[in-house]
Amino acid sequence: MSRRRPARVERTRTRGGGGRAPRPARGHPPRRPHPPGARYRTGPDGVAGTNFALWAGGAEAVELCLFDEEERETRHPLTELTHEIWHGFLPGVRPGRRYGYRVHGRWDPWSGARWNPAKLLLDPYARAVDGDFGRRTEPAGPGTALPAQLYGHVRDWPDQHLADTVRDNRDSAPFVPKGVVVGEDAGEEGDDEWRDDRRPKTPWPDSVLYELHVRGFTMRHPGIPERLRGTYAGLAHPAALDHLVRLGVTAVELLPVHQFAHEDHLVRRGLRNYWGYNSIGYFAPHAGYAATGTRGQQVGEFKRMVRALHDAGIEVILDVVYNHTAEAGEMGPTLSLRGIDNRGYYRLAGDARRYADYTGCGNTLHVVQPHVLRLITDSLRYWVTEMGVDGFRFDLAAALARSMHDVDMLSPFLAVIAQDPVLRRVKLIAEPWDVGSGGYQVGAFPPLWTEWNDRYRDTVRDFWRGAQHDVRDLGYRLSGSSDLYAWGGRRPYASVNFITAHDGFTLRDLVTYEHKRNGDNGENNRDGNNDNRSWNCGAEGETDDPEVTALRHRQLRNFLTTLLLSTGVPMLVAGDEMGRTQHGNNNAYCQDNPTGWLDWSLLEDPRWRPLADLTARLITLRRAHPVLRRRAFFSGRPHEQGGLRDLAWFTADGTEMTEQDWYTPGATLGMYLSGNDISQRDERGVRIVDDSFLAVLHAAARPREITLPGPPWAQTYELLVDTAREEQPTAGEPPCPAGGTRTLEGRSVVLFRAVPG
């Protein structure tokens, strides 16, 4: 076996320690413990350099390691210590310089101490990262593992149940990425670049979210130059923006763009982490999505992407993973926080050798610790104030809301967010659960937050597959889920309504498969959710049967129409509007290939283009009518003397629902939204008046004759949407008389505009 020659190491000291480091002139900027990270600046006497600051509670010593172009390492002990922050100023260190840390301390895994100076550690505050773990940019072949040197313990120790207790003294520097010093002017934006008046600032009720993956959305787009595909620059390209604008969405919700790492078990199978829910750098845009370079250029490229989206009227929301890191459990690699202060950054179990795992990913950040809370909030503010983003979706947010053990809505994390002058003003979306005891918290987050509403997802799926006995739950979901959110001043837009998300079947697969097909993930189809609430419409998988195909297309139209007519904030998943498929894989987290990427040829396919047209039509309708974008919950009462109820429910017979009707088995529900009885007023205090609408949802397989409500609800009804038809109604169709009948095709939605007398 060949031996790797160790890199030449030079040791110097910052001021007070002697050595080779160039001494700054008199009056150089003082070494500062704040802000954390690497900050390049010029002092009052013109001496330029970088201040480095690292919180490492309990450490015995910290070495800053600088790397040149030949990977030669120079170590500078940080001798200044202020409140457990090790810091020092190095003149001459300019933007683009790569660095890492080595932290010295005890090795005592039984007490949670896992310091190992042989491991080069990524700065938690690094604003850019260059390189990848193991130095791989493409998937390795099956059977190839991450380098064993990445682990603080001897990964391949014969006695595996003790392996994490045996320290590995081999140098990890050749196998790890380095932080990059980034100048304050990265991206060349002015001081007012992210002013409020230059952001879209779409109100919550008017928002339509579009969840997408930077790489997957752009990799196969024929209008994006090949060199830009899979990158931030690709998403900023006019070809990508044109689709978003034409569709009408108001915000993109980007799957994780923090620097992340690939798990060893994936690398061994020749795969890689595609979704990115494995963060290791909370300030750094993931370098793998940069077209312009990784020595800090990714920062400017990300900013330019945000600016291009803003110019198109589209907000940018980041899916962020502050609940755990890529270091996994005690058998995971030592990449950053574990080697800086394992006991300070992570929640440890009663046996301090183990981790408290509320995330299912091996570890949980210890958010009640002040320095960890600061790391998270500093990161959030950085992405808002310096990178320009407009909000965040918090993965497994319940894990962040835990105090010592239980989920606590008065937890330090939620309290800090609520009073922060920057963060309380941006869009905050909780994934309101984790995998720990008591972790399911849908409807429980405080008023500042919106939530992914999986109750909406499950109810709508069940309704359209015929698995509900009555329509009680559907009524709540269509009207804003007041049973979950009508408390503490919360509004209907607290509910982010979705039918699909990145995690699970695509919309097309939801009507094509009843059983997941995750064999390509290499886990013998054990991964992914088994409770999909899907229905294949009579045949498992793709089929040429015209009846099954027609029914599937109708079901897709039913789902999209239901979603975009519901009160709350709708969230679409990129590609669902054009019939994207993952061929039954409901957990494509490791499919960085055409399975996980959008197939843009679907937009040119006459079988799928009408679906995209319907989606855009529904979003346009929603944007045009405030009655579909409620800012307050329905009261079920008139708001003006002689008016109608703002919301009324009807049976298929055209009569108003009684209490008994809600409990009667049935699959047809009429929902009347009165535009003349909206409680809200505009910015000038004038009462808002809109058209009135009647939507009828019919989930039974057989056609059903319905009676349209008579006066005073309307004189006639103008048909706007009929999901039984691929081509939607036009303005030339004759109106339907109030009190008249109409036959609904099996499993369809109709939407009427109620025309008054």
- Per-residue pLDDT tens over the stretch 64-96: 999 999 999 999 999 999 999 999 999 999 999
Report the candidate in 538, 551, 610 with the shortest Cα–Cα distance to residue 579.
610
What's the whole-number mean pLDDT along residues 103-122? 98
178-180 and 209-212 beta bridge pairing:
unpaired
d(CA 395, CA 434): 9
Q: Residue 407 has what DSSP assignment?
A: B
Alpha-carbon distances of 478 from 51, 475, 698, rounded to whole Å: 54, 5, 14
d(CA 594, CA 603): 16
The pLDDT > 70 percentage for the chain reads 93
Q: pLDDT tens-digit profile of 164-173? A: 999 999 999 9
Are 346 and 364 in contact, with CB atoms under 8 Å apart? yes
Specify the higher pLDDT residue, 225 or 189: 225
Q: SS3 of 577, please?
A: helix
Bridge partners (DSSP) listed for residue 554: none
First vs last Cα of the chain: how many Å apart? 89
Compute φ and ψ for 373, nearest 5 degrees: -60, -40
Whether this prediction's pTM lies above 0.85 is answered by yes
Residue 234 has pLDDT above 60, yes or no: yes
d(CA 39, CA 322): 23
d(CA 81, CA 104): 14
Tokens of 479: 């009207």
Report the candidate in 696, 506, 514 with the shortest Cα–Cα distance to residue 611.
506
Residue 195 has pLDDT above 90, yes or no: no
- Sign of the torsion angle spanned by Cα atoms 622, 623, 628, 632: positive
Catalytic residue among 63, 431, 434, 691: 431
Specify the higher pLDDT residue, 330 or 681: 330
Q: Where are the beta strands (DSSP E) in 296-366?
A: 315-320
Q: SS3 of 346, please?
A: strand
Report the candidate in 506, 623, 647, 473 with the shortest Cα–Cα distance to residue 575.
506
Decide if 168 is catalytic.
no
What's the whole-number mean pLDDT along residues 683-706? 92
In whole numbers, what is the pLDDT of the chain averaged over residues?
Answer: 92
pLDDT grade for 512, boundaries at 50, 70 and 90: very high
Decide if 84 is catalytic.
no
Tokens of 738: 């109030």
Residue 235 has pLDDT above 60, yes or no: yes
Q: 183-210 in b/e burial notation, b at 16+ Cβ within 10 A?
A: beebbebeeebbeeeebbebebbebbbb
Q: pLDDT tens-digit profile of 651-683? A: 999 999 999 999 999 999 999 999 987 777 777
Catalytic residue among 386, 395, 691, 722: 395
pLDDT grade for 142, boundaries at 50, 70 and 90: low
d(CA 624, CA 429): 25
Least confident of 220-234, 379-393, 590-604, 731-745: 731-745
Bridge partners (DSSP) listed for residue 113: 108
Neighbours of 424 (CB within 10 A): 12
Q: Tell me what pLDDT residue 197 has.
A: 74
d(CA 591, CA 310): 30
Q: SS3 of 386, please?
A: coil
Question: Which residues, 6+ apart, have CB-to-CB distance to 734 below 8 Å?
Answer: none
Q: Tell me what pLDDT residue 636 has.
A: 85
d(CA 524, CA 46): 62
Taking CB atoms within 8 Å and a gap of at least 24, the contacts of 344-348 are 344/57, 344/58, 344/369, 344/371, 344/372, 345/369, 345/371, 345/372, 348/112
Q: What is the CA radius of gyration of the chain?
A: 28
Amino acid at 410: L
Question: Which residues, 6+ apart, have CB-to-CB distance to 550 below 8 Å?
Answer: none
Tokens of 188: 């060349």
Q: SS3 of 550, please?
A: helix
Taking CB atoms within 8 Å and a gap of at least 24, the contacts of 419-423 are 420/377, 420/381, 422/380, 422/381, 422/384, 422/385, 423/377, 423/380, 423/381, 423/384
